[in-house]
Structure 1
């Protein structure tokens, strides 16, 4: 009886540790930031940052499809970071060119 209780308790705790939440919000933020960078013209005005963002976004999508949610979250956050930097740089270049 004691072994059954110990086994079931141990099973419940390990099962909870194996489940990982899907990074839906992070994926949505990365997609939105990537689209905003594209709309700002970052592919021509900040191509290096835009390419990095695209690379990490595609890796995030691939990891998400293969159910590697921890990797997908990490890649989505990197994609969002580079997309936001690319968008900012693109708008900055547009503003400086218009002066």
Structure 2
């Protein structure tokens, strides 16, 4: 009886730890805004390599978030934001240099 009680308590505790992971809402929102900004800056034509990486990681982040793999979603969102910002910067710089 005592063994079953301890086992069930331990099982409930371990299941609860998986639910304690926080959702990366801020990281996902920042990745989305950065990706849309890169898209608006015409990064898909001016910085296609960086834009593709940003898009790839953004899609992976959304997929992981939907599957409730929040740690992976956070990592992918951070990578997407990083590549989106780089792509936007390169696109804006190329546009500025063309206008000189």
State the alpha-carbon separation in 1 of the partners of residues 57 and 15 from structure 2.
30
TM-score by length of 2: 0.84
The equivalent residue for 1:59 is 60
The equivalent residue for 1:86 is 87
2:31 is the counterpart of 1:30: yes
TM-score by length of 1: 0.85
Aligned residues: CA RMSD: 2.0
Cα shift readout 1:54-98 (whole Å, capped 9, x = no counterpart): 000000000000000000000000000000000000000001111
Query: Matched residue of 2:23: which SS?
Result: coil
Gaps of 5+ in 2: none
